[in-house]
Amino acid sequence: MLLIPAIDLKDGQCVRLKQGDMDQSTIFADDPAVMARSWVDKGARRLHLVDLNGAFAGKPKNELAIKKILKAVGGEIDVQLGGGIRDLDTIERYLDAGLRYVIIGTAAVKNPGFLQDACTAFGGHIIVGLDAKDGKVATDGWSKLTGHEVVDLAKKFEDYGVESIIYTDIGRDGMLSGINIEATVTLAQALTIPVIASGGLSNMADIDKLCEVEWEGVEGVICGRAIYTGDLDFAAAQTRADEFNAR
């Protein structure tokens, strides 16, 4: 089970939002590269970056901070990034800078042709982020709910050749209310590519529940607010997950 610390970037700082609301942000670090280094030192094997300004603007906005993070830790672990990635040139630029995976969210739903082109041009580097509420996919920084079912879209994108799916229950994100295990497993069972859980991770009990369903195809989990507030000790959680796998 891959525990993936999230570094959400807003105006060059590391922040956390509540349910995607840019007006409800808590600053956790002024230097995201230092924060990235701290997670790697605590045993992280992958990092999850989000360009929050970029997600709302539809184009990269925190590129300088992202490149500083890649310079600090990119050679040691895989780094994935989402937020405002809408064209192939942006993907190529980020991959050239040392990024391992690019996450396409809103653009995958609104412009599936772009996603297909991205998978063809950059096979093995494209992840799709599906954000949902009550099984329906949301776009545009969660501000718009579509009529698309998560499972249906995920299957379509799997056929395009995406590497994995990050599934976020937006009703739980940033709320420390627990991962939606049932919905995550339902999605994983419908696919052959891995699913990464996101939204609501709150404590060690969530880690145990996720480890129990890893065999269903749940590869990892995005760790957000809980590891910043101290509700979850990241290093201890990764050790716990590794011990579970060793049984």
| Both structure tokens of 154 | 């995920």
Q: Is residue 202 a contact partner of residue 237, using CB atoms and an 8 Å limit?
A: no
Distance CA 113, CA 133 (A): 24
Q: What 3-state class would DSSP assign to 29?
A: strand
Residue identified by tokens 């780094």 is 79
H or E stretch covering 229: helix 225-229
Task: Say which of 51, 131, 169, 206 is annotated catalytic.
Answer: 131
A 10 A CB-CB count for 157 gives 24
**CA-based angle 219:223:229, to the nearest 5?**
160
**In angstroms, rounded to a whole number, what is the distance separating the alpha carbons of residues 27 and 144?**
26
Given 8, 169, 173, 206, which residue is catalytic?
Answer: 8
Active site residue 11: no
Whether 87 is a known active-site residue: answer no
Q: Which residues are catalytic?
A: 8, 131
